[in-house]
Amino acid sequence: MQLNPGPIARLCLLLALALAPVPSQAARPFVTDDARVVDAGGCQIETFIKKQRNFGEREAWFLPGCNPGGNAELTFGGVDTRSDAEGHASALIAQGKTLFRPLQTNGYGLAATLGAVRQRAFAADRASHWSPFLNLISSISLRNDALVVHVNAGTLDDRNTRVMRPTWGLGAEIQIVPRLQAIVESYGQRGEKTSQQIGLRYWVVPDRVQIDSTLTSQRSGAPVRDSLSVGLRILF
C-alpha cells in the first residue's frame, strides 16, 4: 500500500516540525537502528562517503555484516576521517544485533545491539580504548509498511573520556514508490549536538543493491555542521 503525495507531504512536514526544535548502525542511510537483521546465512556490505559542507572534513565508512544463522547479525567495520584543520582520525566498530521480536507488517519488532567502538582521535598523543555500547530498539509498522517508525535508547561507556553517554534516536521510513523510500530522523548522545537527517534510498536491484543519499544538520550551537552523504548497500 502506498501513500498518495498529499499525505506524504503532510507526514514529512509533521515529522520535520516535531524533530527540528530539539536542541547512535541501521541500514544506510539511517543512523537510528531498526528491528531487522540480514537473512540467516546472508551478508551485506554498507559503505558511504560523507562530506561537511561548511568546512573541509570528509568521512569514508565501510561496514560489512553477516548473519551466521538464526536471528543474530554481526558487524565489523570502521570509518576514516580527514580534516583540513585537524588532520586524520579513525574508528573501528564491532557489534552484534539480536531480535527479541521480528518486525512484521502492521506489527512491531524489538531488538538490541551490543558492541564496542575504538576511536583514534585527531590528536595523536591521546590514548585509544575500546568503548562498549548497548542500544535498545523498537520498530512499528503502519499502513502495510508505508510508514515504519523506529525508536532507540542506549548508552555508550566512553573509555577515552571516562564519561557514560546516554544515546537516543527517533526516525521514520516513508514508502514513496515500490523501490524508493524517504527517511527522516533525529538522534544524539550526551556531550554532542543533536543531529537531524533527511534522505532517500532506492533499490537498484530489489533486496540486493541499494543506493542512497542524505542531508544531515547539527544546528544547536556553533559551528553549524551540515553534511552530504552518498552510499551503497549490497546484500548477498
Closest by Cα among 143, 194, 157, 219 to 31: 194
Residue 11: the pLDDT is: 40
Summarize pLDDT for 48-69 with one digit per residue, the tens.
999 987 778 899 999 999 999 8
Summarize pLDDT for 66-76 with one digit per residue, the tens.
999 889 999 99
Summarize pLDDT for 153-177 with one digit per residue, the tens.
999 999 988 999 999 999 999 999 9
What residues does each domain of the chain span? 5-121+128-235
Q: Which helix (H) or strand (E) holds 39?
A: none
Q: What is the mean pLDDT of the chain?
A: 86
Give the percent of the chain with pLDDT over 90.
67
**CATH code at 5-121+128-235:** 2.40.160.40
pLDDT band (50, 70, 90) for residue 26: low
Summarize pLDDT for 124-157 with one digit per residue, the tens.
566 688 999 999 999 999 999 999 999 999 999 9
pTM: 0.82
Could you tell me the three cell numbers for 110? 524489538
